[in-house]
Chain A
Amino acid sequence: MAVKFVRPKIPKFAPDPWAIQFDEQGHLRHLLTIEGLGPQWITRILDTAEGFVSVTDREIKKVPLLRGRTVVNLFFESSTRTRTTFELAAKRLSADVLNLNLATSATKKGESLLDTLRNIEAMQADMFVVRHEQSGAAHFIARHVAPHVSVLNAGDGWHSHPTQALLDAFTIRRHKGDFTPLRVAIVGDIRHSRVARSQMHVLNSLNVGELRVIAPRTLLPTDVEKLGVRVFHDMREGLKDVDVIIMLRLQRERMEAGLLPSEEEFYRLYGLTEEKLAWAKPDAMVMHPGPANRGVEIESSVADGPQSVILEQVSNGIGVRMAVMSLCMSANRGDNT
């Protein structure tokens, strides 16, 4: 049984850092991190997402829920793929979508993050979807936005990527139902992964049976076991009796930073091949937040194989993001009318 993460005691002068996610009525207003949501809210988001996922199976994949609302994609770090899924989610809710790629524009010219924010707020935005290279950026923005604006974290530094973790939980739930008997292994670059951190919080909140991480020490952050995971350095040991395998993307910079000798060695030791997949349970499902580096962390025949749910993750992602957007925006009802 994995060691559960124990929340450190917060001294009296620091309010619960994640309380900011809720409004005075206790309704979800921002989604910045999985921490503080608790199993009730996570389950509510997943249940709501079920309804939206069914919408995407229809001929007209659009509902009028957020008609007249404006969603602004604030991407300080470019990511076409993630931005597109948020854009599609917003459009399927009938919201107006504004895409701002700030990775190259104003902020680089010395305009402060806060100035950028004020300017866009003045455009009567209702929701900011934020992607930023610094941990804590979404939290910072949420602290400073006007009261009618919701902030949705689309990835901040190495900290958090809550919608990705929720869609992973959603996908696992659809296939496996109950989380309590499951063994889940996250494999690869945990240290630099906001996805892995959010996955740990969501799976532990949903009381997953056992959560493992498999990686060389250079790709594991200090004291990672305090996040409620069991640490393995060997794939054969780590994959034994596992129901769900989550592969993470390995970025080439890691080799340059001296964290790994080569892609080849990583693939040999930790790349998910058919041979290594056989070490897990026969019905183990294979996940990847995408885009996968074939031949670096995963073999093509596994990524495209019968146990892979990678493409399903992508389509579920839209429904989950629709659920989060509509839940957050319904907290801000009436404030700007």
Chain B
Amino acid sequence: MTQTDRLLPVNEAIDRLEAQIRSDQQDGTLVDPLIVGIHTGGVWVADALHRALGCQEPLGRLNITFYRDDFNTLGLHPQVSPSDLSVDVDGRDIILVDDVLFTGRTVRAAMNELFDYGRPRRIALAVLYQRDGRELPICADWAGQELTLGPDEQIHVDGPDPMTARLVTSKES
């Protein structure tokens, strides 16, 4: 059963996310941040944030296929586009962007990959939706919406144009 009413629409969630980041930026906690999206949904969100925040440097894209910890059980995921980080990450502040934060494993893989490019000064995490079910000690710095979902519920984000999100039960998916 779909419960779209519990989920904020994507554009509203992005607006909230952007507002939080802006206010922190004014505090001076983030210096000239580099925005990096996690393939594929995270890249869409990052792209929206990148435009909204008016960042000068190109958007970074991470494809974490080679860093996933489920290779032994699921094998190699079909690969569409490789990672693309054209800016040096050494000593930089990075906003890592994903669509949904669930177990935290994707974010762990993304951080591992980021460190293979260099040593950032700080990594902050921005997600559109932060739900329960963490399996690793990872928490978003900013989230467009926080939700508690049932064990068989999942958030599906489609995109990129337009980006939409909906709740599905695992039986549907």
Tell which of B72, B74, B84 has the most Cβ of chain A within 10 Å.
Answer: B72
Distance A278 CA – B50 CA, assembled complex (angstroms): 49
Q: CB distance A333 to B66 under 8 Å?
A: no
Q: Which of B75, B82, B118 contacts A51 (CB 8 A)?
A: B82
Distance A27 CA – B66 CA, assembled complex (angstroms): 19
Q: Residues of A contacting B113 with CB < 8 Å?
A: 63
Q: Residue of A at shortest CB range from B83?
A: A54
| Chain B 36-47 near chain A by CB (<8 Å), digits 1 or 0 | 000000000000
A65 on interface, CB distance cutoff 8 Å: yes
Distance A308 CA – B138 CA, assembled complex (angstroms): 49
Q: CB distance A44 to B67 under 8 Å?
A: no
Distance A212 CA – B52 CA, assembled complex (angstroms): 55
Distance A64 CA – B76 CA, assembled complex (angstroms): 12
Q: CB distance A330 to B66 under 8 Å?
A: no
Q: Residues of B contacting A330 with CB < 8 Å?
A: 71, 75-76
B73 on interface, CB distance cutoff 8 Å: yes
B130 on interface, CB distance cutoff 8 Å: no
Distance A58 CA – B116 CA, assembled complex (angstroms): 8
Q: CB distance B75 to A48 under 8 Å?
A: no
Q: CB distance A331 to B65 under 8 Å?
A: no
Where the two chains meet, the residues of B that have a C-beta atom closer than 8 Å to any C-beta of A are 63, 65-67, 71-76, 78-84, 112-113, 115-118
Q: Residues of B contacting A254 with CB < 8 Å?
A: none
Q: Residue of B at shortest CB range from A327?
A: B76
Q: Residues of B contacting A326 with CB < 8 Å?
A: 66, 71, 76
Q: Given A334-B73, A337-B72, does the pair A63, B79 have CB atoms closer than 8 Å?
A: no
Q: Residue of A at shortest CB range from B80?
A: A47
Closest CB of chain A to B58's CB: distance in Å?
Answer: 15
Q: CB distance B73 to A333 under 8 Å?
A: yes
Known contacts A59-B116, A331-B75; can you find 11 more A-B pairs with CB under 8 A?
A: A47-B79, A51-B66, A51-B83, A53-B82, A54-B83, A55-B66, A55-B82, A58-B117, A66-B71, A326-B71, A327-B76
Q: CB distance B71 to A334 under 8 Å?
A: no
Q: Residues of B contacting A64 with CB < 8 Å?
A: 66-67, 112
Q: Residue of B at shortest CB range from A55?
A: B66
Closest CB of chain B to A2's CB: distance in Å?
Answer: 31
A192 on interface, CB distance cutoff 8 Å: no
Q: Which of B75, B82, B84 contacts A333 (CB 8 A)?
A: B75
Tell which of B65, B67, B82, B84 has the most Cβ of chain A within 10 Å.
Answer: B82
A121 on interface, CB distance cutoff 8 Å: no
Distance A50 CA – B80 CA, assembled complex (angstroms): 9
A123 on interface, CB distance cutoff 8 Å: no
Tell which of B65, B73, B78, B80 has the most Cβ of chain A within 10 Å.
Answer: B65
A60 on interface, CB distance cutoff 8 Å: yes
Q: Which of A59, A66, A327, A337 contacts B117 (CB 8 A)?
A: A59
Q: Residue of A at shortest CB range from B109?
A: A64
Closest CB of chain B to A328's CB: distance in Å?
Answer: 10
Closest CB of chain A to B23's CB: distance in Å?
Answer: 34
A4 on interface, CB distance cutoff 8 Å: no
Distance A3 CA – B102 CA, assembled complex (angstroms): 55
Q: Residues of A contacting B72 with CB < 8 Å?
A: 333-334, 337
A294 on interface, CB distance cutoff 8 Å: no
Distance A51 CA – B78 CA, assembled complex (angstroms): 11
Distance A63 CA – B71 CA, assembled complex (angstroms): 12
Q: Residue of B at shortest CB range from A44?
A: B78
Closest CB of chain A to B139's CB: distance in Å?
Answer: 23
Closest CB of chain A to B77's CB: distance in Å?
Answer: 9
Q: Residue of B at shortest CB range from A62?
A: B116
Distance A259 CA – B60 CA, assembled complex (angstroms): 56
Q: Residues of B contacting A54 with CB < 8 Å?
A: 82-84
Q: CB distance A51 to B117 under 8 Å?
A: no
Q: Residues of B contacting A334 with CB < 8 Å?
A: 72-73
Q: Given A51-B65, A333-B72, A334-B73, does the pair A63, B116 have CB atoms closer than 8 Å?
A: yes
Distance A27 CA – B75 CA, assembled complex (angstroms): 10
**A and B contact pairs by CB, cutoff 8 A, 29 listed:** A27-B75, A48-B79, A50-B82, A51-B63, A51-B79, A51-B83, A52-B66, A53-B82, A55-B66, A59-B117, A59-B118, A60-B115, A63-B66, A63-B113, A63-B116, A64-B66, A64-B67, A65-B67, A65-B76, A66-B71, A326-B66, A326-B71, A330-B71, A330-B75, A330-B76, A331-B75, A334-B72, A334-B73, A337-B72
| Chain A 62-84 near chain B by CB (<8 Å), digits 1 or 0 | 11111000000000000000000
Distance A331 CA – B71 CA, assembled complex (angstroms): 10
